Every structure is written in C-alpha cells, then in structure tokens.
Amino acid sequence: MIILQTKDLRKTYGAGEAEVHALDGVDLAVEKGEFLAVVGTSGSGKSTLLHMLGGLDRPTSGTVTVDGKELSTLKDEELTIFRRRKIGFVFQNYNLVPVLNVYENIVLPIQLDGSQPDEAYVGRIIEILGLQSKLQNLPNNLSGGQQQRVAIARALAAKPAIILADEPTGNLDSKTSQDVMGLLKVTSQTFSQTIVMITHNEEIAQMADRIIRIEDGRIVVRG
C-alpha cells in the first residue's frame, strides 16, 4: 500500500536569470512501513523535498499525497491540523520545548490536538527508546542522543502516517548516530512506521530499507 506519493513535483525560487529549480519533476512512491533514505549533497534539493512532503512549504506545481489526501487541496488551517495528526517530524536540532520535561515533550503534539495519548502505546515507545528513567528530566539535562530519542518518541506518539527525519544524526557522534539509527529501524519495524529520512551520510543511509539519490532537484538513482 502506497502511503506517500509525489507526481511531477516542482519547486522554483526566483525568476529570470535568478530562477532556481530546487525540485525539477520528482516522482516518488513510498510503501506503508518502508524506511526510505534520501541522500544528496548540500543544495541537491533533498531538504526542499522534505518540506514539500511534510506540508511545510507548497510546491510550484505537481502533487504530494499523504495517506490518500492531496496536500494542495487543503487550506492553511486544514493543512496544519493534517500535519499534526498525520506527519511526525524529527529534526537535526531536536526542537524540544526546554521548559517541558521528557514526557510532556513526547505527548505535546497529541495534547495540542485536543486528544488524549494512548498511554500503553506511548509507554511501549518510551521503553523501546530507553527513556523510562528520564521522563521527569528537562531537555537541557539530557545528552544529544537522549534528546534525539525524545524527538523520535514525540514523532511516533501520535501514530502518524509518516515520519520525516531531517539529518537526524547530524549533531551526534558516530557511536550515538549508529544507536539512533538502530532505534529508528527498530521502531519502523515494530510499529510498521513509514519513515523518510534525509541525509548526506552514505553510511547512515545504508541502514534504511531503500535509498534514493537526488541531484539538482531530480532523482537520479532509485534503490
């Protein structure tokens, strides 16, 4: 079952001689439960692609469909709600709320949506990610690897259709990077969670189920 799809996706910045084609006709299909890595150098278009997949920016043309819903058909407020319910984000700089403890950070998106967390499900995520003893800690009392685990738990907690990870190991040392990648893979398999990860690190990308390469806004290699 295809959970995420793009068709002829294009994003253009500027005009005339200054025109830049950040995405130049990207066709992509991701199966439910798949762990996909998108690799490319800086400026290749991979971050722009992630922003389009997550509804953080709108394409110049083409479509993005997540869990059967074409994002371009949603108004801004509808898109915000859809994003909160259907798309989990894991960023390089964690993006945790410093005044909230670990547990509060994990369930925050669910509470913002006016819902109650599935305590059993959240508890299982916390256990798999090894955060049981850290739930009352504030983010600044955690290591980088622990903060990234919290970010992964937060992304998983709302049971999103897809998780988008933007250089999730970019701020971590090699040992911690391997640990975090292992946890991403485990959570993908355990919860049949679809993950699309952007990275420039070839070694990290090898841990995904499939790798695609993007250059100059186009997919040049499909795994």
CATH number of 33-61+72-222: 3.40.50.300
The letter for the amino acid at 201 is N
Q: What is the pLDDT of residues 131-175, one digit of tens each?
A: 999 999 999 999 999 999 999 999 999 999 999 999 999 888 889
Report DSSP state, residue 172: S
Entry pTM = 0.92
> CB of 161 within 8 A of CB of 84?
no
3-class DSSP state of 219:
strand
Question: What count of other Cβ atoms lies within 10 Å of the Cβ of residue 69?
Answer: 16
What local confidence, expressed as pLDDT, does residue 16 receive? 85
What local confidence, expressed as pLDDT, does residue 223 receive? 67
